[in-house]
Amino acid sequence: MTDSHQQQHQNFETLAIHAGQAADAQTGAVVTPIYQVSTYKQDGVGGLRGGYEYSRSANPTRTALEENLAALEGGRRGLAFASGLAAEDCLLRTVLVPGDHVVIPNDAYGGTFRLFAKVAERWGVQWSVADTSDPTAVREQIRPNTKVIWVETPSNPLLGITDIAVIADIARHAGAKLVVDNTFASPYLQQPLALGADVVVHSTTKYMGGHSDVVGGALIAADAGLGEELAFHQNAMGAVAGPFDAWLVMRGIKTLAVRMDRHSENATKVAEMLRSHPKVAQVLYPGLPEHAGYDIAVKQMKAFGGMVSFRIQGGEEAAVEVCNRAKLFTLGESLGGVESLIEHPGRMTHASAAGSALEVPSDLVRLSVGIESADDLLADLRQALGA
């Protein structure tokens, strides 16, 4: 707490490496150790040495990550979970009760949609869908019992951009909380709490971890009171990040700023090449001036990130063929790692949205542009597209 307070004036790159990461008090180890432990010796009943009693409630490695997350998003409390969806589940069961209503984006992450449509709904939570890039569409979905507006920007897989400050205003007037899934941007490129959001959600599996070697999630609350309620539910529900997973995410975060700069540079080059390619019908990248959300992206993001989607001439079969022909771009789900990935959302990540309001175009290809040589990435895409 005092650590992050003293560090408030420091810049992002410094906080990423130092916030919550003081050298180990006992050994001087520069890197936070992996406290692979479940319980802690007490000096007499109730005499806790470092405030730790059981690792579901708190673990020193996880604490280091949680303090770091709070500092990077500019929140009062950070919490680390076993996965992004575990974080979302904890959030929705903390802020919603049966009968409450949530507005979710019409191109939400498929797993987020499934959590509301197939799980939360069974427990009496109502939801409706809006194109959150259109403030009027969001306002139209507000009901007297709306408690949460959920926003993902840039969105997955269509890379839509939502004006966080505008939706924060709508949420405030409706007496609802604004939740922003900041997975695609990361706190280096975008800081939703500063724009008025109440809670930030992360799949730390993606850019925060950054190396495709860990599954994790996070919640960061702007308000200390809500942070405390979330921490209560984190412990009560139990889907915490284990110490090794927390350590891997922390290790990833130290290079987040340099990775995001390179992801953004490479993605811009890829988007520009695709835009001029005869077999490509449309490129979806918020860094292109013709993108509908470009002006808002310029206003609220530092750069435009590593995700690029495009629609191809020739429909679904052509899209699937490009995915199959790519060599350097690995065919696979997930995103945000140093290596480039390619996928067909309609048949892969977003297959569960088929037939719903969140169904994605069948000619869509999604790229997670990595930090390899841009020239090599462009060459691979050209050959996959067939010259």
Ligand X SMILES: *Cc1c(COP(=O)(O)O)cnc(C)c1O
Residues involved in catalysis: 56, 109, 181, 206
Residue choice 205, 268, 309, 340 for contact with ligand X (CB under 6 A): 205
Residue choice 92, 115, 215, 271 for contact with ligand X (CB under 6 A): 215
Q: How far is the CB of 152 from ligand X (least distance, A)?
A: 6
Q: How far is the CB of 86 from ligand X (least distance, A)?
A: 7
CB closest to ligand X, residue no: 84
Q: What is the dihedral of CA 64, 65, 68, 73, to 10 degrees?
A: -150
Q: How far is the CB of 50 from ligand X (least distance, A)?
A: 29
Three-state secondary-structure class, residue 58: coil
Residue choice 141, 190, 203, 212 for contact with ligand X (CB under 6 A): 203
Q: Is 115 one of the binding residues for ligand X (CB under 6 A)? A: no
The whole-angstrom separation of Cα 22 and Cα 64 is: 9
Q: How far is the CB of 3 from ligand X (least distance, A)?
A: 27
Q: Is 96 one of the binding residues for ligand X (CB under 6 A)? A: no
Closest to 361 in 3D by CA, of 351, 346, 376? 346
Comparing CB distances to ligand X, the nearer of 181 and 198 is 181
Stretch that binds ligand X, among 27-35, 43-51, 178-186, 239-247 (CB under 6 A): 178-186
What string of DSSP letters covers 63-103? HHHHHHHHHHHT-SEEEEESSHHHHHHHHHHHH--TT-EEE
The whole-angstrom separation of Cα 288 and Cα 257 is: 21
- DSSP letter (8 states) at residue 332: -
Q: Is 85 one of the binding residues for ligand X (CB under 6 A)? A: yes
Residue pair 140/130 in contact (Cβ under 8 Å)? The answer is yes
Q: Is 156 one of the binding residues for ligand X (CB under 6 A)? A: yes
Q: How far is the CB of 83 from ligand X (least distance, A)?
A: 3
Stretch that binds ligand X, among 4-12, 32-40, 72-80, 81-89 (CB under 6 A): 81-89
The whole-angstrom separation of Cα 269 and Cα 354 is: 31
Comparing CB distances to ligand X, the nearer of 33 and 111 is 111
Spell out the alpha helix ranges (H) of the chain. 2-6, 12-18, 60-73, 84-95, 110-114, 135-141, 164-174, 186-189, 224-237, 243-253, 256-275, 294-300, 315-325, 374-385
Q: Is 160 one of the binding residues for ligand X (CB under 6 A)? A: no
Comparing CB distances to ligand X, the nearer of 85 and 312 is 85
Comparing CB distances to ligand X, the nearer of 83 and 94 is 83
Stretch that binds ligand X, among 158-166, 176-184, 228-236, 285-293 (CB under 6 A): 176-184
**Neighbouring C-beta atoms of residue 33, cutoff 10 Å:** 14
Q: How far is the CB of 324 from ligand X (least distance, A)?
A: 23
Stretch that binds ligand X, among 106-114, 241-249, 285-293, 365-373 (CB under 6 A): 106-114
Q: Is 293 one of the binding residues for ligand X (CB under 6 A)? A: no
Q: Is 109 one of the binding residues for ligand X (CB under 6 A)? A: yes
Residue choice 152, 163, 198, 363 for contact with ligand X (CB under 6 A): 152
Q: How far is the CB of 116 from ligand X (least distance, A)?
A: 12
Stretch that binds ligand X, among 31-39, 108-116, 143-151, 245-253 (CB under 6 A): 108-116
The string over 250-259, giving b where at least 16 C-beta atoms fall within 10 Å of a residue's C-beta and e elsewhere, is bbbbbbbbeb
**Neighbouring C-beta atoms of residue 345, cutoff 10 Å:** 24
Stretch that binds ligand X, among 16-24, 82-90, 224-232, 312-320 (CB under 6 A): 82-90
- Angle (CA) 219 222 226, round 5°: 75
Residue written as token pair 């809500």: 226
Closest to 339 in 3D by CA, of 289, 379, 373? 373
- DSSP letter (8 states) at residue 210: -
Q: 346 burial class (0-12, 13-18, 19+ CB within 10 angstroms)? A: buried
- Enumerate binding residues for ligand X (CB under 6 A): 83-85, 109, 111-112, 152, 156, 181, 183-184, 203, 205-206, 215, 217
